[in-house]
Amino acid sequence: MSIHVNVKSMNTKRLYMRKPRLEDVDAFYQIVKNNEVGKWLAISRGMSREETEQYIGKFIAHWNEHNFGVWLIFNPITREMMGHCGLRYIDGTEDLEIMYLLDPKFWGKGYATEAAHASIQYAFHDLKVKKLTARIRIANEKSKNVLEKAGFKYTHDVDFDGHQLSYYEYKNLF
């Protein structure tokens, strides 16, 4: 896959990904207020606008601290926000996690896999990490399929704060 990276933004064949900004909260809220999306999040429901602002704020803080993070995903032609994908440290660890979320109208079209591939390539080639982790709700088969298509391998299941999660990892063999 060919990607063009400028640290704070990235282009793939069908996606434009960039660092989030506070002015993105309203557009992102239109995606995450939906319970169909929210049921897979830690809060297990759609987000309020205030929760969305805090969520985006955490992404921005991660970028400010580490100079990488989760990108917002846009259609490069229409500039419509599609969701997010990127990398972050799992709280209190040195483990780097990939995470992604799309508006349901973009599910099943390969966008999450394309964004995940770009994030993996960035992690291994630019950040020089040796391993990526992913945590997915056990029942989220669509998300597990994205991870497996992207090259992740299932490792184990864990009860994390009352949520049953499947853990996956992707090791950089080079």
Asked whether residue 55 is assigned to any structural domain, the reply reads yes
The answer to whether residue 105 is domain-embedded is yes
Is residue 141 situated within a structural domain? no
pTM: 0.91
CATH number at residue 81: 3.40.630.30
Report the C-alpha gap between 30 and 47 in whole angstroms.
10
Give per-residue pLDDT as tens, 61-86. 999 999 999 999 999 999 999 999 99
Q: Is residue 142 part of a domain?
A: no
Cα–Cα distance for residue pair 86/116, rounded to 1 Å? 7
Q: Is 140 a member of any domain? A: no
> Has residue 82 been placed in a domain?
yes
Would you state the structure tokens that stand for residue 44, as one six-digit string?
A: 């297990």
Task: Specify if 139 maps to a domain.
Answer: no
Does 153 reside within a domain? no
Between the CA of residue 65 and those of 12, 28, 58, 68, what are the distances in Å? 25, 22, 10, 8
Question: What tens-digit pLDDT sequence spans the chain (174 residues)?
Answer: 554 555 678 999 999 999 999 999 999 999 999 988 888 887 888 999 999 999 999 999 999 999 999 999 999 999 999 999 999 999 888 899 999 999 999 999 999 999 999 999 999 999 999 999 999 999 999 999 999 999 999 999 999 878 789 999 999 876
115 is in which domain, residue-wise? 4-133
The strand pairing partners of 5, in sequence order, are 10
SS3 state of residue 112: helix
Token pair, residue 39, equals 């049921």
Number of domains in the chain: 1
